[in-house]
Amino acid sequence: MGVEGGMKCVKFLLFFFNFIFWLCGLALIIIGIMVQMSLHSTFMIRDASASGAPILLIGVGVVIFFIAFFGCCGAWKENYCMITTFAVLLSLVIIAEIAAAIAGYVFRNKLSTIVQDSLTDTINSYKNGTKEFKASVDKMQESWKCCGVNSSTDWKFFSTEGNTVPDSCCLNVTTNCGKGAMTDGSKVYQKGCHDAMVAYLKENIQWVIVAALVIAFLQIMGIVFACLLMRGIRSGYEVM
């Protein structure tokens, strides 16, 4: 027989929380894809370890997406086995998220080195890069008002005279404004892009951590409601 009284409230709360989980899973998939595209397109970060966090986000998002759908069905049909499976799978997801948090912490410690190496590769590849690649680098320098990795002198191999930088390094971007102006602070930005990029990524990582904590809280509440509903359903079986 169906659950009654307070258990009906728990049933609908579990259904509601699973709908929230479904949205969270979808959000994680979208965030993971956006981070992956951002790291490897806009910011040209090519270190393989940098892909770990966004890929894990996408993977967890997909799992949550399907588990939430499974939980919704179990709650609506008051199926003890489905709800039990849902609670177990959700517990495994929380464990995976803890592993992701640890991986994110390790990645945070490597962030400066990864950015340094990736920006260095970017500058070395700029001269012979595609039009789209150059446009991405130029957009980065113009947006963040920076030049090179650590300073404008990182572009010393950009030209044969060793004193020219891309026009995107200029305070006021005009054609050939970077020619012979590498160390001219009145024309070219002297600070590199490394610190700006690290600060940007760390800020976004903090938002990801906040989102992960919120999702983890909702998941724990989902497990609590699932256990309560399982108890109510089992009590109904015992009465029968």
The total number of structural domains that make up the chain: 1
Asked whether residue 139 is domain-assigned, the answer is no
Check pLDDT > 90 for residue 187.
yes
| Least confident stretch, 47-51, 68-72, 187-191 | 47-51
Residue numbers of the domain that contains 30: 6-110+201-239
Nearest to 127 by CA among 80, 174, 159: 159
* pLDDT at residue 240 tops 50: no
Neighbour-count burial for 209-236, b at 16+ CB within 10 Å, e otherwise: eeebeebeeebeebbebbebbbebbeeb
> What pLDDT sits at residue 153?
92
Which pLDDT belongs to residue 239? 37
Does residue 221 lie within any of the structural domains?
A: yes
What is the per-residue pLDDT for 177?
A: 93
> Cα separation of 118 and 57, whole Å?
22
Assigned domain for 176 exists: no
Distance between CA atoms of 164 and 151, rounded to whole angstroms? 13
What is the tens place of the pLDDT at every residue in 113-166? 878 888 888 888 888 888 888 888 898 899 889 999 999 999 998 888 889 999
Q: What is the pLDDT of residue 35?
A: 67
Q: Residue 24 falls within a domain, yes or no?
A: yes
Give dist(CA 228, CA 6) in Å, integer: 10
The pLDDT of residue 1 is: 43
DSSP state of 161: T
* Radius of gyration in angstroms for the set of CA atoms belonging to the chain, rounded to a whole number: 25
> Diameter of the chain by CA atoms?
90
Domain contains 22:
yes
pTM for the predicted model, two decimal places: 0.57
In a domain, 132, yes or no: no
Is the residue at 186 inside a domain? Answer: no
CA angle 54, 96, 199 (to 5 degrees): 40
Residue 173 lies in a domain: no
Please tell me which residue, 1 or 70, carries the higher pLDDT value: 70
Question: For 39, which DSSP code?
Answer: I
Confidence (pLDDT) at 39:
57
Say what percent of the chain tops pLDDT 70.
82
Percentage of the residues of the chain whose pLDDT score is greater than 90 = 18
- pLDDT tens sequence across 12-24: 777 787 787 778 7
